Structure 1
């Protein structure tokens, strides 16, 4: 059966994470080395809900040029468009030298034979293998080969307007009933705000409610995957989530097509009281709207009757594509980005959790009210999507998003929508 919950033991919790296993690729390319004089590497980094990282990239690029003589061209690619762009680039042989690959994508791209195996590089660095956050290492490994260097991990929890909660005498919700009670109070007192929007094009916002009700996304029996989005428990969680909009009016019709970026923008504009968002989001919210400074709160996602509902512990690797002519040089850039001072700086700047343990302990021990709940969510309620390269096909088809949008728009009831989605997901997960 598919195991999705991580043991609640700090670093050991992350160590057992199975986000997505990577599949085969090619051996490291020859040539390049660390003498990069006159050479330039192309790098794709994802962009979406992250804070502005221009200064960070500039600092890394400057340090890399000083160290190797080579320059880098960093291009930010929107998460929403990235998967199709990667697939097209792989097919056409136009991939960059290096790219950020989400943990659920590393498997797919390695399976396509597009990635360089990194074990030689990692093992040549003293102590690095033992320093990797093992869960992210597992996520980048297939058939005993590492194809994604752990970069960072993040998790979604509840972010809310602490000033509004204080004004109305509300506390952070600890059960689903608390969410409804707080939402009703906000709706009555501040009708101009959306109490808890339900974005229809935001897949990872859905699964905590499935898991929080005791359901599963999919389970594995032998070699066969079966989606359980249509189980009684999963349906209860999905019904609660969509009823935030359909029955309680905490959302809007426009949110039916929202991505996470749209949700964040609405929150930034002061139009949202509660939302699910990532550990990396508080900094970007304040960055976009300084008036929000001191007005934000964070809380774990509650289970149906309390406790912590699991939330997808996602993250990213840096991968080297086998189209590169400078694999050794590319590794030097990957190492610079993911270890040492730059790993620590990235975590501090963004709110993500680093991919190496030596940079992670401080974040996990934080008492910052906008960091600690995410750390608690990660170690006690981190969860994984189905561990298979085929999950990329589910994401590409937007099976879960289409299900939610059908319910929000009234095209299907929960029973019908979940049954259809489960059938489609099961088919996609078992494709050969």
Structure 2
């Protein structure tokens, strides 16, 4: 079973933004019609093992066409390679005749697509959707740019704290319920097993670091009206940066060993059996089970500083949107709503293991697989997101947050110095400088 999580697609966003900057005005797509018959074109992301996803989509298509006479649905599967996908969307934004009516997109891609003028505003459609009450407000924010909604949340992925049950039992440890307990457990593990790290963390792991910032009451930026202002150097954000970078200590995860680790490498470190704990996603389960850690771990929500609290996690995932150029707007919305319905979210979980966004659907998958409960509890506690602004592409591609973390970890800058520098660079990006 393959679990795919589209979280960051900087090349794809860059292509979309470049399009918005250079495409002639005549190429900018607009709402062009609402035909009730004809062919509805749908773009979805491909999978390494497409058959299960394709089967559920075919079922949805059959249900939809049975209820809509004179309508056919043409589904195409896009390569997940960022460059290939970027080329497809660039062509669609430049030439509406080649564009789909409905498309799947990664959550961090949206701001760039909106900036390029490619996505339809579906705020009123979502408000009228009978299933809206099943969608948590924080997940709706992942399809929101400014004060408008541009898609339906389809599935979500979050990270929680994986820990080695064998080590915890041998050392008489209990799963941490606070940051302080996490630090204590990490030190105990490394002291007993010098060949391991207490918790695997990475200097290039933005989504591993941000829960500590959010838990401290900080954030990357705050929105006022249509614009964002960086707040990574606020006192609360600094406290969160310090909490994360303090984990890069010789008795936990040595800086020289961990400063260059990415999110993927933290997963492989835990899977290899060389870490006592790790901040890892539900979508990484198969990778962990492919390594020596299989059968020797359990999961709890990543704890916050306050005992018993849950640190906010980044809400990644994929959504379904309507292209502005569609000539079948009502049909497009109706098909997206069908595919994003509870029925097909549950089928998507069965097919690929992707967590549903609807609350009742999540309850059902936990009943099937208790392993998922810590992730569902994390979502229920409240998730967060990166700034829904095209500038995030620049901030991400320039590695502003990564550079900030690494300077602190390596001692090249203090927390104050590194966060001040990052704050300036982020504000420059928001201002288009």
TM-score, length-scaled by structure 1: 0.75
Summarize deviations over 1:207-238 as a string: whole Å, max 9, x none.
Answer: 11113334333234566643232233322321
Report the alpha carbon displacement of residue 421 of structure 1 after superposing the two structures with TM: 0.5
**Residue matched to 2:419:** 418
Matched, 1:250 2:250: no
Match of 1:257, SS state, is coil
Is residue 270–residue 276 contact of structure 2 (8 Å, CA) maintained in 1? Answer: yes
The answer as to whether partners of 2:142 and 2:385 remain within 8 angstroms in 1 is: no
**Residue equivalent to 2:348:** 346
Match of 1:147 in 2: 150
Post-superposition shift, 1:319? 2.1
How many angstroms does 1:343 deviate by?
Answer: 0.7
**What do residues 28-58 of structure 1 show as CA deviations (whole Å, max 9, x unaligned)?**
655694657xxx754336x8xxxx6634323
Is the contact between residue 103 and residue 314 of structure 1 (CA under 8 Å) also seen in structure 2?
yes
Query: Residue 72 of structure 1 aligns to a residue in which SS?
Result: strand
Whether 1:319 aligns to 2:321 is: yes
Q: Secondary structure of the equivalent of 1:309? A: coil
SS of 1:298's equivalent? strand
Shift in Å at residue 111 of structure 1? Answer: 3.0
Choose from 197, 216, 221 the match for 1:218.
221
Label 1:395 to 1:385 Cα distance change in 2 as closer, same or farther (>3 A): same
- 1:102 is aligned to 106
Contact kept in structure 2, 1:283 and 1:351, CA below 8 Å: no
Within the candidate set 219, 239, 246, 1:236 is matched to 239
**Residue 265 of structure 1: SS of its match in structure 2?**
helix
Give the stretch that moved more between structures: 87-96 or 104-113: 87-96
1:18 corresponding residue in structure 2 = none
Counterpart CA distance in 2 for 1:143 and 1:230 is 23
Whether 1:181 aligns to 2:184 is yes
Check conservation: 1:25, 1:111, Cα contact below 8 A: no
Deviations 1:264-285 (A, max 9, x none): 2232222332111223333553
Q: Which runs of 5+ in 1 are unaligned?
A: 1-23
Q: Alpha carbons of 1:93 and 1:196: their partners in 2 closer, same or farther (altered >3 Å)?
A: farther
Q: Distance in 2 between matches of 1:368 and 1:41?
A: 31
Displacement of 1:186 in angstroms is 1.7
- C-alpha distance in 1, partners of 2:240/2:138? 27
DSSP 3-state at the match of 1:185: helix
Native 8 Å contact 2:112 2:390 kept in 1: yes
Q: Deviations over 1:241-285 (max 9, x none)?
A: 123224435156464333322222232222332111223333553
Distance (Å, rounded) in 2 between the aligned partners of 1:224 and 1:335: 30
Give the alignment of 1:103-182 within 5 angstroms.
103-118=107-122, 127-129=130-132, 132-141=135-144, 146-182=149-185
CA contact (8 A) 1:281 1:351 kept: no
Question: Deviations along 1:163-204, whole A, 9 cap, x unmatched?
Answer: 222232221112222222211222123333332222232222
Give the Cα separation in 2 of the matches to 1:87 and 1:258: 31
SS at match of 2:176: coil
2:50 pairs with 1:54? yes
1:220-369 alignment, distance < 5 Å: 220=223, 225-251=228-254, 253=256, 255-286=258-289, 288-289=290-291, 292-306=293-307, 307-322=309-324, 334-335=336-337, 337-348=339-350, 352-363=354-365, 366=367
Q: RMSD in angstroms over aligned alpha carbons?
A: 3.9
C-alpha distance in structure 1 between counterparts of 2:395 and 2:251, whole Å = 30
Residue aligning to 2:19:
none
* 3-state SS in 2 of match to 1:182: helix
Q: Is the 8 A contact 1:283 1:350 kept in 2?
A: no
Which secondary structure does the structure 2 equivalent of 1:407 belong to? helix
C-alpha distance in structure 2 between counterparts of 1:331 and 1:154, whole Å: 24
Q: Is 2:384 the partner of 1:380?
A: no
User: How many aligned positions are there?
Assistant: 397
